[in-house]
Amino acid sequence: MALNFSGPLARASRRFVLGAAALTVLSAAVPAFSAEVVKVSLNAPFDGSNAAFFLAEERGYYKAEGIEPAFDPSGGSGEVATRIGSGTYDFGFGDINVLLEFNAKNPDNAGKALYMLYYRSPLSIGSFAKAGISKASDLPGKKLGGSLGDGAYKLWPVYAGISGIKADSVVWSYGDLRLREAMLLKGDVDGILGFDSTIYFNLVRQGIKPEDIKFLYYSDAGMDIYGNAILASKKMLTERPAVVNGFIKATAKGWQDAIKDPKAAIAVLKKKSSLVNEALELEKLEWLIKNQLVTAESKADGMGNVNAERFGKSVTTVSTAFGLPNVKPADVFDASYLPDASIRKLP
């Protein structure tokens, strides 16, 4: 018996097929959900100090907030502050004190620090024991190496003033942040400025014995200041505050996870930058957690916020040393974007 493809049933089938095809065409015409793309300037080349950002990305925290971050390395906090101030980058990871100076001089382009991470400033002068640098008064006449965009160099006048030495009493050699330790290794300088962990691990990587590396900390001079924080541009704060909230929340979760499991953060870093030394970068991250992140203050109040009295004093100290009048804590730090306490709590 032959099958009949004409009649009501056949016409209904054709209508179904045509309808399904039309729906397919319409679905293709509807654009897929588009994530908010943001540019993020990190504090340095990709290393243990910023591995937590990649961990947050790997675990989908940014995606959950509808955000797609694009991370770029930098030459230090000076460059980060300029990138944020110019609006070419949406977020940054840099020294709050360098941002303070930038904002005071460029109020129309002032970004804000929104989430504190370094509760003890790691700014220091690194040297070899043979240089004989054990106190500030040993520095005049010495040759120091620094990077023009680095926070340690930008804050050198503050340190010098508090220490009672002249800022121009040393001889300077300048180089890229990634080449700074090479100047010390070659004997071109007596000491170099930077974060203790960065200097230490870069020198150890070159075979220098830990006992031969000495540090003179800015905090030893009485600079009780905060360090690196998550920064946001004025444009982001003005035009996309919801994205700012999401970025801070996702990043805070990444740092919370990195503090809990540093090895996981370094494993993700290795995927981003295959040439990193995992053992040394893990040690660097653990150093930062122990010395900069986990303090009595962050244990008591959680990560992200600042102590009002301490921060007020640090703003006065830095602004006075820079000769910046009328700088208020609110000009540089905004706590209104802090996420829930559960995310800020140390693991």
Residue 265 CB coordination number (10 Å)? 27
Distance CA 30, CA 40 (A): 30
Do 148 and 174 contact (CB within 8 A), yes or no?
Answer: yes
Region of 305 on the Ramachandran plot (φ > 0 left; ψ -120 to 50 alpha; else beta): beta
CATH entry 3.30.360.10 includes domain 36-119+227-344: no
Identify residue 129 by its one-letter amino acid code.
A
pLDDT value of position 33:
55
Q: Please give the pLDDT value at position 28.
A: 44
Question: CB atoms < 10 A from the CB of 21, how many?
Answer: 10
96-123: b or e for each residue (b if 16 or more CB lie within 10 Å)?
Answer: bbbbbbbbbeeeebbbbbbbbbbbbbbb
- Please report the pLDDT score of residue 320 as a whole number: 83
* pLDDT, position 78: 87
Identify the pLDDT of residue 322: 79
Q: How many CB atoms lie within 10 A of CB 224?
A: 14
**Rounded CA separation 108/12 (Å):** 67
Fold adopted by 123-221: D-Maltodextrin-Binding Protein; domain 2 (3.40.190)
**CA 321, 97, 212, 75 torsion-angle sign:** negative
What is the number of other CB atoms lying within 10 angstroms of the CB of residue 64? 13
Pairing of strands 228-232, 112-116: antiparallel
> What are the beta bridge partners of residue 229?
94, 116
Q: What pTM did the predictor assign?
A: 0.82
Query: 289 is written with which tokens?
Result: 């957690």
pLDDT in tens, the chain (347 residues): 444 434 544 444 444 444 444 444 444 444 445 899 999 999 999 999 999 999 999 999 999 999 999 999 998 888 999 999 999 999 999 999 999 999 999 999 999 999 999 999 889 999 999 999 999 999 999 999 998 878 889 889 989 998 999 999 999 999 887 788 999 999 999 999 998 988 998 999 899 999 999 999 998 898 889 999 999 999 999 999 999 999 999 999 999 999 999 999 999 999 999 999 999 999 999 999 999 999 999 999 999 999 999 999 999 988 887 788 889 999 999 999 999 999 999 99
CATH 3.40.190.10 domain extents, the chain:
36-119+227-344, 123-221
Give me the pLDDT at residue 13, please. Answer: 44
Number of Cβ atoms within 10 Å of the Cβ of 230: 25
Nearest C-alpha neighbor of 95 from the set 292, 316, 312, 276: 292
